Amino acid sequence: MASVAQVGGVPVLILKEGTSRQAGREALHLNIMIAKAISETIKTTLGPKGMDKMLIDTLGDITISNDGATILDEMDVQHPIAKLMVEVAKAQDKEVGDGTTTAVVLTGELLKEAEKLLEKNIHPTVIVSGYKKASEKAREILKSKAIKVDLKDMDTLKKVAATSMRSKAIATLRDYFAEIAVKAVTQVAEQVNGQIRVDVDNIQIIKKKGGAFLDTQLIYGVVVDKEVVHPAMPKRVVNAKIALLDAPLEVEKTEIDAEIRISSPEQMHQFLEEEEKILRDMVEKIKESGANVVFCQKGIDDVAQYYLAKAGIMAVRRVKKSDMEKLARATGAKILTRVEDISPEALGTAELVEERKVADEKMVFVEGCPNPKSVTILVRGGFERAVDEAERAIKDALYAVADVLRNPYILPGGGAIEAELARELRKYAPEVGGKEQLAIEAFANALESIPRTLAENAGLDPIDIIADLRAAHEDSSKWGYGVDVVNGGVADMISLGVFEPLAVKDHAIKVATEAASMILRIDDIISASKLEEKKGEKEKKGEEEEKSSEFD
């Protein structure tokens, strides 16, 4: 429907034909309904007893996961509000790497509570204002309750990593994977100007199906998913001196088209000999520097391969740029853009470089690097889907540990901190007073949905659990009590060792509040007509014109 206004009794077209428009309460309720639908979809995946989703894309590829960001990313949603909810999960994933489901569920619950207030004729801007105050207060309480962590306390870091993997497919082996995650992150962490910096991208994750989850291993070095270029080359080099080349070991082709006139077989022989000499000199340069392993980002000519093999040098070609950077960080080698620049100082070292067969594929392992600032986790599992889910679980654990190293504070999990925040906010609401007080109380109810969902997903009675949780939190010494999904009931999460990084909770509350506020502020949706429809209409119009011309 095009939007039409009456000016002095004459209709005036404002919007184009085919544009649809929803305004006021109708638009607001529609948006809230869609956000709630998305939230409800992934709600059942929350917590250790959460269920998984199977997603099948247009090509028929299957993804089985209970990771919030993965599910929403694979769902291929259409509505703009649904896309906004996907953005919430992506923002949480990119910033802190965990807590995506919490962030989306919280956004949905904030809107659900807001809907009840809208029915009481409370204006959306009042609700948004109340939510903002509640969010600021909640984040303030989070920081005051957070427990400081000694970064040398490996046990606590392992507990944080294990908590992030409790709801994943590898939950039963979480202690084994937690140890790998903690060792990997602490290895690549660097101290810069008194602050710890962790780039999780320096931890390479290579997936290979076949074998069991327990065959997953941490390698203090880099695994290059390529094979040695020539069969005569050594497949194992101990005390390797590694050269990294971002230059081809080939005779360069001229930039412009050139023609060489050869009038005798001797000239042809000379020409080929000269080409061979160039390649031989390149290899000689590499040999003189003392290098016995070469990783090349570009191609290696067959003749150069022969000379490298003759010199007993192992070579790998067409290595990815990201792998080259990881090799440089792990071995201490410099990436050279010209073979002429090679020198003993530019080489890196490793105790062992070896080609091994992993699941029918040959790979080159670079191990025993001196203080490697890049490490590799080789993930194994029975079949492809299992390996994919194991990788997602390990990534969550890596990010959780990295979050604690960057900001060394943790909080009890199991819905404990949400229950505590809800109690504190209910005390704070009357101080604010007015209609905003109702919005702050609604925010507290939304936070309580996290322990309620954990209880529902574990098959417990949510009403009993919330009542027990509220009763426990009335005693200030029991602020760490949360939902014990294993034994049923409530228990002290601190003594159970269920911990989550402060950064994850803080960011989830911040992003959920911002998203809910944005959706509540929308009171008009104007959708332009679809391009396909317009195209279809044009074709139809053209056909009609043709028909009329025939009759003429």
- Residues taking part in catalysis: 67, 100-101, 396
Buried-state track 94-118, b at ≥16 Cβ within 10 A, e below 16: ebbbbbbbbbbbbbbbbbbbbbebb
Q: In sequence order, which ranges of 44-189 are alpha helices (DSSP H)?
A: 68-75, 80-96, 100-119, 124-145, 154-164, 174-188
Those residues whose C-beta lies under 8 Å from the C-beta of residue 410, and which sit 6 or more positions away, are 146, 147, 149, 156, 160, 404, 499, 500, 501, 502
Angle subtended at Cα 238 by Cα 233 and Cα 243, rounded to the nearest 5 degrees: 65
Token look-up 């429809």 returns 533
Those residues whose C-beta lies under 8 Å from the C-beta of residue 231, and which sit 6 or more positions away, are none
- Counting every residue, how long is the chain? 552
Structure tokens, 337:
């853009």
Phi, psi of 489 (to 5 degrees): 100, -165
Determine the residue type at 113.
E
Concatenate the DSSP letters of all residues of 360-377 into one string: TEEEEEEE--SS-S-EEE
Q: Do strands 236-245 and 335-336 pair parallel, antiparallel, or not at all (unpaired)?
A: parallel
Shortest CA distance to 391 belongs to which of 136, 205, 263? 205
